[in-house]
Amino acid sequence: MFSISDLLKSLPFHNKPRLFISPARINIIGEHVDYLGGLVLPATIDLHTQIAISPFPEKKWIFHSVQFHETVELKNFSYQNEHKWVNYILGVFVEFEKKGIEIPGLQIAISGTIPHGAGLSSSASLEVGIGFALSEILRLGLSRKEIALIAQKAENEFVGMKCGIMDQFVIANGQKNSALLLDTSTLNFEYKNINLGNCEFYLIDSKVKHELEASDYNVRRKECEEALIKIKEKFPDLVNLYSLSIDQNLDELNLSNKLKKRVKHVLGEKKRTEDAIYYLNSGRPDQLGKVLYESHASLSNLYEVSCQEIDFLVDLLHNEDVIGARMIGGGFGGCVLVLDKIGNFERISNRVWKDYYSQFNIQLEFYRFQIDDGVREIEVTEWIQT
Ligand code: GLA
């Protein structure tokens, strides 16, 4: 594990750096609906991207990743870089420039504890962290919502992943001990206290990452756009797919089988989100768990964004009578969010690790976490100029 002092020593900073930390996110319910105007219930957790940043006297940009042991020096940031991690930073720079904000020379070192490609949004965490850091060091006073929107645009346009707003928004606005209920059609939100009684959440990283994740994700988004066009033939005033009534008979909509499955997931998730909020409010984690399993089945069978390893894992958990589990994030690998009785973790993790290993020869990672605050600055106390 890398420490803040490793981060501060990783570049010969010309000036005292400032330090920002930007969290990872989970999502309790509302999956693959944030680009359709849906409700989502994510939260930020205590796995972080750490960013040390300092002005540099020349007009150039020096980036260092502690995790990848790579340094990249650029005099121009308009082009995609061969180092993928750099593009999340450049994308944000480009969005600031589009707003007429000049980016001065900078030294930026990055480290962190978020596993990459695990569906915990390490990319959005970096983008939001950079946007927030720039706003602070350039004294721009951007709102957290503006920073989230800039970070989303960086991902959509520079990186090319047509993600929704959920990840960037919660990373910018997350709050300790609360989930954030976000209406992605208006960006109105409220904090929801997470009281799970005698249960707890934890994460299992399947360690599976499918290369085509971004393109498969973009395909799903396109399919939903096609479905909306078709449905509008019957309901011309429909503003987005999520506004369709959950009682709508999908056979009346002239959709192909594939599009019907996609829409069925979206409407099912709408109903499950209502239910999940009700069960959270009324302190019924057992019922919430059922909703999580249903959401997973829908993501796997109707939206088709799971994979055999994740499905195997969720089935194992179900067979062990764990209260609830489902894939989270974009899918095609990554983490499973588990809702389990407090005290079960050791037994379940041992059991699941062994079965998964003998099936796939892959060693699972487990993450226990706390719900933590969104992006923020922390004080630098350990820096010694070299
Ligand atoms: C990824 C995207 C989000 C969201 C989720 C699925 O994490 O970045 O915008 O669409 O997938 O809910």
Lowest mean pLDDT among 11-15, 150-154, 258-262: 11-15
Query: pTM of the full predicted structure?
Result: 0.96
Statement: residue 29 has pLDDT above 80:
yes
Q: Count Cα atoms within 13 angstroms, Cβ side, for 179.
A: 22
Q: Whose CA is nearest to atom 7 of ligand 1?
A: 329
Q: Do domains 4-26+43-177+373-378 and 199-367 have the same CATH topology?
A: no
Show Cβ contacts of residue 294 under 8 Å, excluding neighbours closer than 6 positions: 268, 272
Please compute the mean of the pLDDT values over residues 149-159 and round it to a whole number. Answer: 96
- Catalytic residue, chosen from 34, 167, 205, 340, is 167
281 vs 3, more confident: 281
pLDDT for 78 equals: 86
- Whether the CB-CB separation of 317 and 325 falls below 8 Å is answered with yes
Count other Cβ atoms within 10 Å, centred on residue 21: 22
Confidence class for position 142, pLDDT limits 50, 70, 90: very high
Assign domain 199-367 to its CATH architecture.
2-Layer Sandwich (3.30)
- Whether the CB-CB separation of 26 and 42 falls below 8 Å is answered with yes
pLDDT for 211 equals: 63
Please compute the mean of the pLDDT values over residues 188-217 and round it to a whole number. Answer: 89
Statement: residue 165 has pLDDT above 70:
yes
Q: What tens digit of pLDDT does each residue of 94-112 get?
A: 999 999 999 999 999 999 9
Q: What tens digit of pLDDT does each residue of 34-46 get?
A: 999 999 999 999 9
CATH 3.30.230.10 matches 4-26+43-177+373-378: yes
Strand order in the sheet with 106-112: 70-74, 61-65, 106-112, 42-55, 18-27, 376-378
- Whether the CB-CB separation of 366 and 206 falls below 8 Å is answered with no
Closest-lying ligand 1 atom to the alpha carbon of residue 217: 11
Across the chain, mean pLDDT equals 95
Statement: residue 384 has pLDDT above 90:
no
Please compute the mean of the pLDDT values over residues 192-203 and round it to a whole number. Answer: 94
Confidence class for position 1, pLDDT limits 50, 70, 90: low
Q: What tens digit of pLDDT does each residue of 205-255 get?
A: 999 986 656 789 999 999 999 999 999 999 999 999 999 999 999 999 999
Q: Quote the ligand 1 centre to 304 CA distance (angstroms).
A: 14
**Pocket around ligand 1: residues whose beta carbon is below 6 Å from it?**
31-32, 34-35, 121, 163-164, 166-167, 329-330
Q: Quote the ligand 1 centre to 37 CA distance (angstroms).
A: 13
Q: Quote the ligand 1 centre to 104 CA distance (angstroms).
A: 32
Q: Whose CA is nearest to atom 9 of ligand 1?
A: 164
Quote the radius of gyration of the chain (alpha carbons, Å): 21
Statement: residue 319 has pLDDT above 80:
yes
Confidence class for position 3, pLDDT limits 50, 70, 90: confident
pLDDT for 385 equals: 72
Residue boundaries of the structural domains of the chain: 4-26+43-177+373-378, 199-367
